[in-house]
Structure 1
Amino acid sequence: MSTISSPGLASGIDVKSIVSQLVALERAPLAPLQTQANSMQSKLSVYGNIKSMVASLGDAAAKLSTASGWNTVTATSSNAAAVGATAAAGAASTSLSIEVQQLAKAQSTASAAIPLASSMGSGLLSIQLGGWSGNTFTPGSGAAVEVTVQATDTLTQIAAKINEAGAGVSATVLRDASGERLLMRSNDTGEEKAFRVQVTDDDGLPNDAAGLSRLAYDPGTATGATRTQQALNALATVNNVAITSASNKLSDTLPGLTLQLSQVTTAPVEIGVSNDTAAMKKNVEAFVTAYNTLNTMLTNAIKYNPETKVAGSLQGDSTAIGLQNALRGMMRSVTASSPFSRLADVGIQAKEGGNLEIKADTLDAALNNLDGLKALFTTAGDAGSQGFGLKIKSFADGLLSVDGLVSTRTESLQSAVKRNTKEQDKVIDRAARAEVRLLAQYNAMDAAVGRLNGLSAFVNQQVTLWNKNSG
């Protein structure tokens, strides 16, 4: 007997359609599960944004929670091209008058010109840092550095060896129409960072006009290289008090203040150090912006629009509603500080809808009482009375901790998504198995009907033959 390969072919019944509809019934629970999954994924996305915004709010509050956030200062210079000034946090407010008579310089030397790519002869260069007084050299505390020169070495190769030796000087080769010269320069400025170059020449002729001696710089005994720049200390006066420095960057001269000397002055340069209220105001504005961004996100997520009949992703979510209420409550709370105990006292006021706005005049007035404004954000105490910077930072840290409200809600949603995925897999698997079973059953029925139809046709044929024979 032939096998039926197309369901319903023998019986005339649309088996595929019947099985498809029955399988669709098995898959019916999948649609609501997918709807739930989309809703949970949307909530997870919103909570991811909330988590990021809470972190930003905590960072903004942290800048206001410590004294360093309120100790920013700014330095000004009446001639920044000649004397630049920067102040570290906490530097005392002050004003200074500075005049620069001399800039610190590094010693430089140049050898006589030789033909391009010529060798200088072999020998030993001994480079020593120290200070010059006329033609008298006083070695510094470091040992001399020796550089071995081969007979075939060119000036370029000698310069490379000097640079690799770490002798406190740098070397380069200058080329022009007359040939090439070896230029050497101290790495640091100042009278005590000068250098001497002594030569042990393998030709046995010290101080000659040939051989390696041409690179020596030792005015008392040699006639090699010439000095093109004397090592100098910077000379200046601060409020008419003379100072000297080996560097043009004065970082230890005045506590918390760094001065960069760039030009000799012809008139006093006025330096001022004052509280950087602009930076402080910017930190307050960043705090308000971070709060408003989070509050707006929560408002949109939990609201229901009766006109469009569209609900936010977290509409009815108790965690999100509780978070917003807690944040708004903290912004209306008081601290133990004085003379300001509320944010509204310094111009940070709540608008309709819960966002904050800054009254610039009130905040500017509060900045004139910097200690009081700082106390509003930095006062230590219990959760109810501590400053707003500390309070909000602690609240944000708690929300984002492993067992915090935002973290636990996120984990709960992630677990629900996993369970939903497993339920969807179960429905899909059950429908697939049902489809296999139903197809097998209907194929068997179709085959049986086919056999019955064949038997019926045979019987009818026999009856017809019988009728003919009996007639």
Structure 2
Amino acid sequence: MASPILPSLGLGSGINTSSIVDALVAAEKQPKQAQITRQLNSNTASISAIGTLTSALSAYQASLDKLKSSTSPAFLAFAATSSDTKFVTATASNTAVSGTYAIEVGSLATASKIASKPLGIGTAITAGQLTISQGSGASQVDYTVDIGSGATLQSVRDSINSTLQSKGITANIINDGTDSRLVLSSTTTGANSDLSTSGIPELIIDGTSKMTGSGGGYINALAADAAFTVDGMSMTSKSNTVDQAISGLSFNLVAAGSSTVTVGTNTDGLKTSVQSFVDAYNNLIKTINTLTKTTEDADGKLTKTAPLTGDASVRGLLSSLRNELVVPASGGNGQLKVLSQLGINTVQADGTLEFNSTTFTSALTDKKLGSEIQNLFNANDGLLSRMSNAIAPYTGSDGIFASRSKTLEATKKSLATQQANLDVRITNLTASLSKKYNAMDALVGKLKATASNITSMFDAMNAQKANS
């Protein structure tokens, strides 16, 4: 560190006082600076490692959630394909039976849509309670909407939507350029689900009568059941999603027309699902291995460690994950109990899983274990749920690694404070030593000047004596 006060050589003494100050300051600073730098590098590496591991755990949890999805279920033993998805789409469950089914859609299930009588744009709406009824007889359901004074069609529409939209009933306004009608729609399909209104004179609608030019009523047609046939047998359904007609098979009626639905063993789908789990698990393990690995020289001596080498929390996480891999499946009377029956084994030296497709195919074709795979993975206490529970203590805003991150960040701030304090102390020390050596240099300079003067005087006296 160059002195901010003295040049490289003392003007008075001729001694390099800057080098002396630099050496003294360096001797004072180096031990503490080395400690701070070492701790800061370790802290920074640990923060990065915890962040990487947290991201890997989040990715693993996302993969588990995808495999547990109820809307796009994985591990289905059977697959259903439709010859024409413009008319019918289908999904098979684990209770399905292989076969083909001819489905002809005659008409789709429809919902109720009604409109009020024509009203002038400036028509005042009577205050009170509007009753909206759906269905009739024992199945009728009534909803009420409060209509305040000074209401307009727009405010009535908004009141209905804010009150009943969650019930599947919505309102809008249609204007023909002269008059307006309040239009009510329902998402509930099937016969006897028609809407009607009462309670407000201007908005009374008989949902069983067709709308006319001057009166309200249903638009186009009453709500109706879907009509279709399965292998020639006539059936109806209140919904366009049918899950009771064929055991283990759910199909959606899309439009009038014919399609053949084929149900067969879902070999490819099951293999893809199992491979997805194996890949997700292996990606997490590989990340952990990278963050905990050690490097040895040719003699087996440790030369380098990763940021989380020997970390107790990581060891606990790995232990929890590995334990879940060997827990036998519970529930049911099936033969499939452990992952090894599907060709999934922990035989890799790095702890990752190996997936043997030959063993897996044999489990499906020879041992007929396909229908049991979903229970092994997706039961309430299946592998996916247990894995989620195993990593839960380590993730989240109050998890183990989140707490570690907070501690590391606090340490980082402490080290920054220590560095700032050291810099101030070194600056003050440099100034103090420079002042002292500057004073010394000035004193030496004066002494040298005095000595030079005395020498000159004696030389002059000697010269005068010699000349006399």
TM-score strictly above 0.5:
yes
| Aligned equivalent of 1:154 | none
Whole-angstrom distance in 2 between the partners of 1:399 and 1:147 = 53
User: Quick check: 432-441 or 250-259, which moved more?
Assistant: 250-259
Higher Cα Rg: structure 1 or 2? 1
- On the 8 A contact 1:249/1:259 being kept in 2, the answer is yes
- On the 8 A contact 1:75/1:85 being kept in 2, the answer is yes
| Aligned equivalent of 2:28 | 26
- On the 8 A contact 1:366/1:373 being kept in 2, the answer is no
1:38 and 2:30 matched: no
- On the 8 A contact 1:105/1:230 being kept in 2, the answer is no
Amino acid at match of 2:52: N
| Aligned equivalent of 1:363 | 360
Cα deviation, residue 273, structure 1: 7.4
User: Quick check: 236-245 or 409-418, which moved more?
Assistant: 409-418
| Aligned equivalent of 2:164 | none
1:163 and 2:161 matched: no
Amino acid at match of 2:369: N
CA, structure 1 residues 283+79, in 2 after alignment: closer, same or farther (shift >3 Å)? Answer: closer
- On the 8 A contact 2:121/2:180 being kept in 1, the answer is no
| Aligned equivalent of 2:440 | 445
1:348 and 2:344 matched: yes
- On the 8 A contact 2:60/2:281 being kept in 1, the answer is yes
What SS does the aligned partner of 1:28 have? Answer: helix
**What's the TM-score once normalised by structure 1's chain length?**
0.62
Cα deviation, residue 15, structure 1: 1.7
CA, structure 1 residues 196+40, in 2 after alignment: closer, same or farther (shift >3 Å)? Answer: closer
Whole-angstrom distance in 1 between the partners of 2:40 and 2:237 = 74
- On the 8 A contact 2:171/2:183 being kept in 1, the answer is yes
Question: Once superposed, what is the RMSD of the aligned Cα atoms?
Answer: 6.0
1:263 and 2:268 matched: no
Give unmatched runs, 5+ long, in structure 1: 134-138, 151-157, 202-211, 381-385
Cα deviation, residue 369, structure 1: 0.6
Whole-angstrom distance in 2 between the partners of 1:423 and 1:107 = 73
1:65-97 Cα distance to aligned partner (Å, 9 max, x none): 99997578766555443345567xx77426875
What SS does the aligned partner of 1:10 have? Answer: coil
Whole-angstrom distance in 2 between the partners of 1:438 and 1:243 = 99
| Aligned equivalent of 2:180 | 182
User: Quick check: 224-233 or 392-401, which moved more?
Assistant: 392-401
1:289 and 2:279 matched: yes
Cα deviation, residue 456, structure 1: 2.8
The equivalences for 1:367-378 within 5 A come to 367=364, 368-370=368-370, 373=373
1:104 and 2:87 matched: no
- On the 8 A contact 2:12/2:445 being kept in 1, the answer is yes
Cα deviation, residue 104, structure 1: 2.0
- On the 8 A contact 1:93/1:275 being kept in 2, the answer is no
Whole-angstrom distance in 2 between the partners of 1:401 and 1:340 = 33
Whole-angstrom distance in 1 between the partners of 2:113 and 2:356 = 58
* Aligned residue pair count: 425
| Aligned equivalent of 2:165 | none
The equivalences for 1:183-332 within 5 A come to 183-188=181-186, 192-195=193-196, 224-225=214-215, 229-237=220-228, 239=230, 240=233, 242-243=235-236, 245=238, 248=240, 260-265=252-257, 267=258, 269=259, 280-300=270-290, 301-304=292-295, 313-314=305-306, 317-319=309-311, 323=315, 330=322
CA, structure 1 residues 42+143, in 2 after alignment: closer, same or farther (shift >3 Å)? Answer: closer
- On the 8 A contact 2:127/2:149 being kept in 1, the answer is yes
1:49 and 2:52 matched: yes
Whole-angstrom distance in 2 between the partners of 1:332 and 1:407 = 23
What SS does the aligned partner of 1:224 have? Answer: coil
The equivalences for 1:69-80 within 5 A come to 76-80=81-85
| Aligned equivalent of 1:456 | 451
What SS does the aligned partner of 2:112 have? Answer: coil
- On the 8 A contact 1:348/1:356 being kept in 2, the answer is yes
- On the 8 A contact 1:171/1:182 being kept in 2, the answer is no
CA, structure 1 residues 262+25, in 2 after alignment: closer, same or farther (shift >3 Å)? Answer: same
**What's the TM-score once normalised by structure 2's chain length?**
0.62
Amino acid at match of 2:310: S
Whole-angstrom distance in 2 between the partners of 1:318 and 1:73 = 45
Whole-angstrom distance in 2 between the partners of 1:217 and 1:389 = 49
- On the 8 A contact 2:105/2:253 being kept in 1, the answer is no
CA, structure 1 residues 379+226, in 2 after alignment: closer, same or farther (shift >3 Å)? Answer: closer
CA, structure 1 residues 111+364, in 2 after alignment: closer, same or farther (shift >3 Å)? Answer: same
Whole-angstrom distance in 1 between the partners of 2:125 and 2:373 = 71
Cα deviation, residue 370, structure 1: 3.7
User: Quick check: 365-374 or 61-70, which moved more?
Assistant: 61-70
Cα deviation, residue 445, structure 1: 0.7
